[in-house]
Chains A and B, each alone.
Chain A
Amino acid sequence: MKPVTLCLLLLLVLAMLSGLSFASAPGSLKAKVLDVDGKPVTGAKIFLYEGVNVRKPADFISPPSDQEGRVVVSLPPGKYRAVARIKQGPLFGPLTSGDRHSGEPTEVEVESGAEAGADFVVADIREIGQKRRSAVGETVRLHGRILDAAGKPVANAYAFASMAKEISDVPAFMSAWTDEDGRYELYLPKTGKFFLGANKQFPLPAGVAATVEIGSRPGKSDVAMDLAVTVY
């Protein structure tokens, strides 16, 4: 074999061994990290894993996200599983209170010389817990305590709501029986006027009237309201 050919061959072999290829310029991942309210998160990092197992040190870690929640990281071409994390404590190790995470890994494919995009939403488990009680459909959640005239919580009572001031024996909307804390929870349509009350008898006795009136509640999904009403 001619020396030139041999050199070229050798170069090719060396290039393959070193992972270099004329077609293997790095690509990049451009990501945006937001919180559960849709606001950009500063200081989050994207952790990228080449394999399926994300419970090990990451293969690549991005710089922290900026004030717009944006982050760009250069990567060799390939498929990755990516998660976003923002940690108060050490870089590695499990999340602690206040840390946030984007949940299930996102699959990202980075091509040579190209920019891939992905968005991540990071959340604290406590934020998710607070969002748990979001209204189903077009309803607002009314909650609070049923109190007697002395301001003490009433057990074994229930809150009710009606669209008419005169209440039928089985009002249109009712809460469950309260416990010792007097706590109730009532889901109502967001629009419309309602008359509220509380009672210990079911069905209601004749002549029960509501004593609290509430109007439409557009834009609200959660309303806290103690019902300080006289229990019959």
Chain B
Amino acid sequence: MKRFSGTCLRLLMAVIFFMVLLDGAVDAAVITTDTVWQGEVKVSDDVLVPKGITLTIRPGTIVKVVAAESTKTDPEYLSPLTEITIRGTLKVEGTEKAPVVFAGEEKKTGSWAGIIVDTGTAAMQFLRISSAETAVTLLDGSLQMKHASLSGNRYGLVLQGKKAVAALENSTVSDNDYGTCIFQGAQMTTKATLIEKNRTRDSYTASPKAFDPGVRLELPQEGPVSRRYADAVAMGETVWQGRIEVSGLVRVPEGSRLIILPGTVIEFVRRDTNSDGIGENGLLIQGRLIAKGTREKPITFRSAEKDKQMGDWDSINIMNSAESQNLIEYCRIQDSYRGLHFHFSNVVLHNSVLSNNYRGVQFQESLVDMKGNWLIDNKSGVQGRDSDLSFTDNVLYNNYVGANFFRTTLSASGNMVMGSWREGWRIREGVSTLRENLIDGNRYGLMLADMFYGSYNGNSFTNNLETGLSLKNADNVEVNGNVMSRNGITGLSIQESQAMIKGNQITDNAERGIGVFSFDGIITENNLAGNGRYAIDMDGKTDIAAPFNWWGGDDPARVVLDRRTDPNRGSVLADNPSERPFSFTWPLANLPTDTTWRGTIGVTRNLAVPAGAELKIFPGTTVVFAPATTLLIKGRMIASGTPADKIRFTSRDKKGAEDWEGIQLEYATGSIVSHCILEYAAWGLHSHFTNLVVTDSLFTNNTGGIRFRSGPVEIRRSKFEKNSIGIRSYLGNAVIRENDIVGNETGIFVREKGGGLFITRNNLFKNSNYNIRVGDFNNEDVPARDNWWGTTEPLETIFDGRNEPGIGNVLFEPYLTAPVATGAGVKL
């Protein structure tokens, strides 16, 4: 009996051992125990190796991955293609004689996602990976690769995140579209490794600028747990307040309501019975949920664990609740699998923060209103399908994928989608209208596919690491009045689409303004300038119509890559090129990221450049302000023209002073205004606490040329004429040197504390009231030596303490007897 039991036990153990030693098809999604692959392994569904689990692949293993693009991606997965995702450990133990091979069953580039090491660890040797979208993606994890060959993929190796560290040894990355891409501060070391002969680029490194999403929601008040729930049914009206602990599933049946008062904290204990790394506790609302927090007293849903992890709890699920709105307002939802998840429901999500979730929001067949939310640091910000969605003024930042909508009627405006590690925004099918959204600093900005309607007007696609806007298989789409600028490779990518591409500002993209594979439509009245290699790169075979665009002053033949250079390409028919830029009305109210202006920019409302952002204005640019508009700079403005190509700030109406308000600088240190013309403003420049340099510029026909407080300010070689006041100083610290200040009513007005000024070697004359006037509140002498006053009696042109005792004197002696060759005299 004993012997028999022992044999049974050994047999049982052998069975268990061989159960996890796979040789065959892999269908299971999540690997929950340490597993070994060997022989021929067919992967027909996503594979996930969670934290704490090791997948070992023995020498000679051939892994064939079945292509299966799905419109449904569960939150724990990262690609619509079949993927092998490692959050635990991957060991690939190939040998020289028996390498491990990963390939798509279809042998077509991009047929499967590739190996994604997501905060996990991978040690791989003697392997080959082909036909993937990206052979190996490393997201904040660790990768050691020896004797590897990555070829025949779209991307060979993509590393992302400051914590991503990769070491390659004796490996090759070749014959891919892109070899290696390193983003967001990832690190790679190589030894005896070749990265070469990749079709588009061998290597590419980029990082978006850091961005403060500006969350405005108070933190929760901590207090003792007031109620505890295991699995429970909340009948009737249930009111929660204080601190609630949930260690099961709380269900609110049909006809019942769960009302959560402001300031309530709901914590979910982690329960993971199937060891898939995903918590199971949560809420199921079949009645209605009223979670009506306030900004001062938000409601918090979070993990109860001390060491909170993404996926510690399941979700707030809302099912079949369409009678009236479920309200989720001023809430924090964090550490979950799917923060808010609903079907067939009417849901309002306003002013809430969803962070550190696998997916912030997921919905289908619902009526949805999302406004003013922050979706930050999730794997996926929001994903929805087959719904009606109003999506306004949300901030999506630092998610792996920001937003993903399928077959949805979508109206989206005023959103900021930034810093996504993959797509900022994906929209497929459905009807969508996007207006005045900022899509910036993502790897890919906005990807539109399979659209039969679409209106994308007045958006900004900027600073994305690869592509700003991509149209694929889109029909009847209008793309008007957008900014597509400063993207890492391409501003606009078009494939198999029919569209009107009109009136866009497509400038300063690192390689191409527009990349075209196939297009039936019209590209017209766009400003295409300053793109690194080509304004339009025609990759397809059929001709495209691109009449009447502005090509940045270039001959289109020089900035277009088409049949003229390569007979295998189609032609870009660039008839009637415009000699001047088309006036482009700036579409957004804020410029929160680095922005470039070229051509003619129309400002029709107040614009602001916040702290941390830079506005760079190119020589020859004209900025035209509508009445009563202001440009407020709290970041930095670099407006450096040239003697031949000045930058002009002017008014639309050109009637006279105060047509527009002016440029205001507040703590805008490092700002430069050089070779500029400022006219028709109330104040051309109005500066506070800004380290500002103004040179070689003309201020004319303003109420005031420059007014400043504090500084230091440097004003040189500039001309002030026909203003009421040329320069006004208040508690100023400035050098005013070698300027022509002539023909104003008052040349320089010193309101208060003029002792910090150094006014010298200027031509100050023919100002109808005074060349320098000291104000009533000034009590310091004003140094103004060695200027030319246009007279031998300068005192007659000065109003100071000699006229009104106690207000300080202008120290004008010695004075020059001939004008200075200032180098100003800028002509209109």
Residue positions of A touching B, CB distance < 8 A: 53-57, 93-97, 99, 101, 103-104, 123, 125, 128-129, 132-134, 136-137, 139, 156, 158, 170, 173-177, 179, 185-189, 202-203
Contact = CB atoms under 8 A, between A and B. Distances in A.
B150 interface: no
Nearest to A104: B452
A66 to B, nearest CB: 24
Given A93-B521, A94-B478, A94-B522, A129 B323 contact: no
Interface of B: 237, 239, 257, 259, 261-262, 290, 292, 294, 322-325, 327, 329-330, 346, 348, 350-351, 367, 369, 372, 388, 390, 409, 411, 431, 433, 452-455, 473, 475-478, 496-500, 518, 520-522
Contacts of B475: 54-55, 101
Contacts of A133: 367, 388, 390
Nearest to B450: A104
B369 A185 contact: yes
21 contacts: A54-B475, A55-B518, A94-B498, A94-B522, A96-B500, A101-B453, A129-B431, A133-B367, A134-B388, A136-B322, A136-B367, A156-B294, A170-B290, A174-B327, A177-B351, A185-B369, A186-B324, A186-B325, A187-B324, A189-B324, A202-B294
Contacts of A176: 325, 327, 329, 348, 350, 369
Given A136-B346, A174-B292, A174-B327, A202 B351 contact: no
Nearest to B344: A136
Q: DSSP class of A's interface residues: helix, strand, loop or mixed?
A: loop
B409 A202 contact: no
Given A94-B499, A132-B388, A133-B388, A170 B259 contact: yes
Given A132-B409, A176-B348, A125 B454 contact: yes
Given A55-B498, A136-B322, A128 B237 contact: no
A68 B420 CA distance: 50
A48 B390 CA distance: 34
A170 B237 contact: yes
Contact of A189 (B323, B388, B453): B323
A194 B38 CA distance: 69
A95 to B, nearest CB: 4
A223 to B, nearest CB: 14
Nearest to A53: B496
5 nearest CB pairs, A to B = A94-B500, A55-B498, A136-B322, A95-B476, A94-B521
A139 B323 contact: yes
Nearest to B350: A176
A165 to B, nearest CB: 19
A188 B325 CA distance: 9
B350 A177 contact: yes
Nearest to B351: A177
B323 A137 contact: yes
A123 to B, nearest CB: 8
Contacts of A99: 476
A205 to B, nearest CB: 14
B411 A202 contact: no
Contact of B455 (A55, A103, A125, A185): A125
A134 B390 CA distance: 13
B261 A125 contact: no
Nearest to B325: A187
A152 B322 CA distance: 32
B520 to A, nearest CB: 5
Contact of B520 (A56, A179, A188): A56
A165 B507 CA distance: 61
Nearest to B522: A93
Contacts of A179: 372
- Name the residue in A53, A185, A187 with the highest tally of chain B Cβ atoms < 10 Å from its Cβ: A187
B285 to A, nearest CB: 16
A189 B325 CA distance: 11
Contacts of A55: 473, 475, 496-498, 518, 520
Given A57-B520, A129-B409, A202-B261, 8 more contacts: A55-B496, A95-B476, A101-B453, A104-B452, A136-B322, A186-B324, A202-B294, A203-B261
Contacts of B237: 170
A123 B431 CA distance: 11
Contacts of B473: 55
A220 to B, nearest CB: 16
A132 B368 CA distance: 11
Given A136-B346, A177-B329, A177-B351, A125 B431 contact: yes
Nearest to A136: B322
Contacts of B500: 93-96
A173 B452 contact: no
Contacts of A101: 452-453, 475-476
Contact of B324 (A96, A177, A188): A188
B478 A202 contact: no
A93 B239 CA distance: 58
Contacts of A189: 323-324
Contacts of A128: 409, 431, 453
A95 B480 CA distance: 13
A185 to B, nearest CB: 7
A139 B518 CA distance: 46
B481 to A, nearest CB: 13
A175 B372 CA distance: 16
B325 A175 contact: yes
Contacts of B518: 55
B520 A173 contact: no
Nearest to B389: A132
Nearest to A138: B323
B7 to A, nearest CB: 63
A202 B292 contact: yes
Contact of A202 (B262, B367, B388, B520): B262
Contacts of A129: 409, 411, 431, 433
Nearest to B496: A55
Contacts of A96: 478, 500
A133 B294 CA distance: 26
B498 A139 contact: no
